[in-house]
Structure 1
């Protein structure tokens, strides 16, 4: 491309066309190099020519490339034959990798949405705590509690336009579908979901000019299709039921449709604007009203779902805030029927009561949390105190034993010296005998003083314990009976229903008078036992929960309770599984089972003791 031939080229480069090396030659010198023209530029001023001089080289290159392709094909063919022998194993590995990839994707989605694992209910009911629509910005979404199937089977949601009714409807259906698809749901711990055979939804406006369908017609088409397939295992979600036609006829039709679905036993959530359906929520069993909260001060929705309260018509208040003449608004209020006024008054009262109940609930929860924290601090302090007292007693005992050992050693030495002198025939002088007698008297006096030491007296009592003796177990502060001697320093002590293995350092033998007092104290203690009938382990770490469970069982066995409740929550299931394993191993447990659905379900276990 350089030298004397460079002037014939458009650019002094070598390029590739059709996998062959060519040079860009000016149009007027196309025959200068001979060879083959493979392409030309868009303007036609440049031709891409394969010079005759390199034709053999390009041909050789193409042959080598063809041989390379053949070799690649041969190698892949051989690898395919080798892989065919392991086809079944490869299929299993591919399926396992696909499953792992799917699980990883679900885990990443759950982490991104801060989702939790819901429990599965067995009675077609669900309870979503702090449910959030997964497609709304997490910083803006409003969480709501949505429950259906336990206290009521039908929810009628009313409220202003753009107030969040439809989003609430979609949130309930979408989270239920996510759970049935094996996904974690964007809701708080403790939520539960059902398993429906079908989830039917009529949401949105599906007008069609081609099919001559109005809003009302499209809704009715969907509802007719749902009515053909609905069962007692179905969930039905309908947005603006009966809308798009005459209000009076639409309301009557909506009531009849709801009655049909209720007879089928389906679970139902519908949204509506009709005031007649507010009364429907009060006149039918297992049916409740709900509404989306509206802030009159700001004239904007809060998107909070209020269960049990129908939506209030805010037209008059909004009109006043926007500056409409007072006489016009007052005239409209006079035109309202007495029935409508009664309904609005009832709604106002319900709103006030609900607000008061919510505030009281928050105050009680705060007080309960503080009481639990204080109880834990007191228990921890008591444990530390008992540990320190035991350490002090052990230290004092060791010191007393050390003094006794030294004095006995000294006495043995004096006796040994006198014996040695007598064996050698030496005369023991009077002053030596007097000195030895003085030392013996001094030792006896010190041993007498030590004998009065309370710790040594306790030690002596411990070493003279027999089967049937009444003793006090120091670590538990309870009185029991020695039922068996397990070793030189180990005993089995019966405390009511339980039997403990203790060392002689952990017990005090009681005198006859003390036995009667201890018996009275034990009886009084059992009568006035403050053992609680339930234990709440929620929010605790696994190790902490297991320690508290073991300590709680010691307490209830001493108190004489026959039935207790262990509240472990649902969560990840670690504490629940630990509780079940502990109860299975505990020989004092007669039976245990999950609590009824209205008392905690799988979040609590009821235990019956032997």
Structure 2
């Protein structure tokens, strides 16, 4: 791509922004030289990589590039036998650590969302934990060779510390001496040239032996190494030299290890730079709120709400444009400062960004084309040095474009034919546009010439467009209107600004009849467009409101179904649990009765036990599917329902038995639950037998043959105390003979007088062991449960 186009369309500014988002110098250097590609497969590959990084950033946050440095110079020096310093070795270790962290990050993302291109780069990252650990063992975080780097270095530094301690101790004794203090400028010990010295006044120089290493600027103070510590300082100097040699030896060993691993590290750096560059593109997409464009190589463009990336988000006006389907050329007309050039640049810049593998600032569904080249003649390139006028500079560019363009090129022309006589300029512009159009290029051109509006109307594959202008505010809206040519608006603007009506009317008379008809036609088209757009916006608003109501209703229905299903499931679980409990208790009773029969050799009929067990099994509620079966459908009825009938509750899908009935509803026993159900929601399954028994009555059938009339409960409701006591006495005798452990006296709640009288009688009865008020599921205060001896 021609570098002039890169700068004309300001792609270099996008590139600079991208470079600023790179985390390492490796990625930044790639961003700075980014070029669009004219190959479709390469562009798709670039965009896929950006999309994978964008997904990884969205799922797991920013990729970790901390610690990664450009260590290529260090690797090169290690190969040629140079010695790396501690800081360079530490950078190498930190880069290896950063590379390993990045590789783990990508593997973690790949487990949740496949990122094959990024993983292919991650596979190029080499690891050598032994080398990394060796460097860290020898070099600390301050880039200083650690004592533990070798035993010899540790010994030398320990001896150095001890020797320095002895020298300082010797000098401190001198400094503390009262006879010497008066000779010192300051009571302190300092260092000159790696040797410990003391500051002595000039006049006492002869009182000290040793060596003078320095003096103050005034010459009043001499820094003297006393003779008593000269040999000790000499020893420290020898130890420091030995330390330096040992450090050099350690650094050379580490450098040779790095050189052995230099080639894999070079490959790793290439992969790290490319990954940083790709994640920088993802960061740019996030900042610009850009989307992934669809790409093609058939010359088709469809930009949806495209925004110029270099204009502030609160000021930019989105652009909608389609090119390459029904028409291959767009001619944009309109006043100056209306946004024609910005629209032209937006089309070109978004195309360059997509071809470079960058997301484009626009809505999803935007499509862009991979062109073999983009050519643009934008702006005034007048040159005094080259004696080129505005028209000449435009013609020079256009001649170059006409010579180099191909049918797969995109051509952008700003103010084509401008800068010369209007009649000649418009004719030349039409001729240039016709030549480019016949070539098959995709083209967007801007102009002031009204003759080009007529050309666009008459030529197939060419369409007019204009920048919208608000007459009321006398300002452009910067919206591109495809299919509508621009109006001059000169008379309307002049009238709004207060120009005399007589002058304006005279001016109108100077305009040709054809031009007036064209202006009237454009005005009518503009009015119709505004009306249609208002109606479209109104329809879209109503459509959104309907969609919102629909979603709300669907959500309400879904919540209702979930709640209904939850309640049904809970009721089924409660019913099933209660029946299971009753079955367990019945099994225990049957086992006790069998045991008694064995012990007392009484004649309990086995088939009665089996029949009662079967009845208890049938009492378990069926778990019907949650979907209600035909609510509102007419249930099958062989005859009118009556008490005792076995029925199916249609809405619940469960079987039960009618225990009470009225003209419109019935009370149905579902396991241990009773509920009122509309007759229309019931389906007859089995007519009532001649003699019905409840589960409790079936249980009371488990008794000796001579006690066939015994039962577990006695209903006393509606009787007075005297009658009730006679019935209770008889009932307790029968229950005692039947060996029932406990029975139920149903006296109702009422005023409580009947309950009090019966319980007073129970306290004196010989067969009663204890009694209590019934539990919630046994009838509550309306039932007294009696435990027999």
Q: For the superposition of Structure 1 and Structure 2, which TM-score range results when normalised by the shorter chain?
A: 0.5 to 0.7
Matches within 5 A, 1:52-451: 77-391=252-566, 394=569, 406=582, 417=593, 421=597, 424-426=600-602, 449=644, 451=646
1:211 CA drift (Å): 1.8
User: SS at the partner of 2:644?
Assistant: helix
1:395 CA drift (Å): 5.7
- Unaligned regions of 5+ residues in structure 2, if any? 1-180, 200-210, 620-641, 657-681, 686-789
Q: Structure 2: how far apart are the matches of 1:79 and 1:327?
A: 94
Any conservation in 2 of the 1:154–1:286 contact (CA below 8 Å)?
A: yes
Any conservation in 1 of the 2:648–2:655 contact (CA below 8 Å)?
A: no
Q: Structure 2: how far apart are the matches of 1:420 and 1:153?
A: 103
Change (3 A) 1:188 1:399: closer
Any conservation in 2 of the 1:451–1:457 contact (CA below 8 Å)?
A: no
Any conservation in 1 of the 2:292–2:360 contact (CA below 8 Å)?
A: yes
Q: Structure 2: how far apart are the matches of 1:72 and 1:165?
A: 68
1:347 CA drift (Å): 1.0
Q: Deviations over 1:151-209 (max 9, x none)?
A: 32111111111111111111111111111111122222332221111111111111122
Q: Structure 1: how far apart are the matches of 2:488 and 2:587?
A: 102
Q: Structure 1: how far apart are the matches of 2:235 and 2:575?
A: 106
**What is the total number of aligned residue pairs between the two structures?**
433
Q: Deviations over 1:489-534 (max 9, x none)?
A: xxxxxxxxxxxxxxxxxxx9999xxxxxxxxxxxxxxxxxxxxxxx
Q: Structure 1: how far apart are the matches of 2:214 and 2:574?
A: 112
Any conservation in 1 of the 2:334–2:340 contact (CA below 8 Å)?
A: yes
User: SS at the partner of 1:124?
Assistant: coil
TM-score (norm 1): 0.59
Q: Structure 2: how far apart are the matches of 1:233 and 1:50?
A: 85
Q: Structure 1: how far apart are the matches of 2:243 and 2:364?
A: 61
Change (3 A) 1:405 1:36: closer
Change (3 A) 1:186 1:457: closer
Change (3 A) 1:67 1:111: farther
Change (3 A) 1:83 1:460: same
Higher mean C-alpha displacement, 365-374 vs 322-331: 322-331
Change (3 A) 1:46 1:286: farther
- Unaligned regions of 5+ residues in structure 1, if any? 7-13, 24-33, 39-44, 462-507, 512-610
Any conservation in 1 of the 2:374–2:411 contact (CA below 8 Å)?
A: yes
Q: Structure 2: how far apart are the matches of 1:311 and 1:333?
A: 18
Task: Pick 1 or 2: higher relative contact order, CA cutoff 8 A, min separation 6.
Answer: 2
Change (3 A) 1:457 1:379: closer
Partner of 1:452: 647
Q: Structure 1: how far apart are the matches of 2:286 and 2:371?
A: 26
1:295 CA drift (Å): 2.1
Q: Structure 1: how far apart are the matches of 2:294 and 2:316?
A: 23
Any conservation in 1 of the 2:646–2:684 contact (CA below 8 Å)?
A: no
Q: Deviations over 1:398-429 (max 9, x none)?
A: 6776569948975995798499659845589x
Any conservation in 2 of the 1:169–1:269 contact (CA below 8 Å)?
A: yes
Q: Deviations over 1:529-586 (max 9, x none)?
A: xxxxxxxxxxxxxxxxxxxxxxxxxxxxxxxxxxxxxxxxxxxxxxxxxxxxxxxxxx
Partner of 1:519: none
Aligned CA RMSD, in angstroms, stands at 5.2
1:73 CA drift (Å): 6.7
Change (3 A) 1:234 1:415: same
Any conservation in 2 of the 1:400–1:456 contact (CA below 8 Å)?
A: no
Q: Structure 1: how far apart are the matches of 2:253 and 2:598?
A: 106
1:377 CA drift (Å): 2.4
User: SS at the partner of 1:449?
Assistant: coil
Q: Structure 2: how far apart are the matches of 1:243 and 1:68?
A: 79
Q: Structure 2: how far apart are the matches of 1:50 and 1:127?
A: 85
Q: Structure 2: how far apart are the matches of 1:114 and 1:310?
A: 32
Any conservation in 1 of the 2:300–2:323 contact (CA below 8 Å)?
A: yes
Change (3 A) 1:426 1:79: closer
1:328 CA drift (Å): 2.2
Q: Structure 2: how far apart are the matches of 1:70 and 1:315?
A: 88
Change (3 A) 1:238 1:61: farther
Any conservation in 2 of the 1:397–1:456 contact (CA below 8 Å)?
A: no
Change (3 A) 1:399 1:127: same
Q: Structure 2: how far apart are the matches of 1:52 and 1:399?
A: 101
User: SS at the partner of 2:476?
Assistant: strand
Q: Structure 2: how far apart are the matches of 1:187 and 1:393?
A: 50
Any conservation in 2 of the 1:120–1:192 contact (CA below 8 Å)?
A: yes
Q: Structure 1: how far apart are the matches of 2:562 and 2:498?
A: 74
TM-score (norm 2): 0.47
Higher mean C-alpha displacement, 379-388 vs 143-152: 379-388
Any conservation in 2 of the 1:288–1:308 contact (CA below 8 Å)?
A: yes
Higher mean C-alpha displacement, 163-172 vs 419-428: 419-428
Q: Deviations over 1:414-471 (max 9, x none)?
A: 798499659845589xxxx9xxx9xx9xx99xx993623436995679xxxxxxxxxx
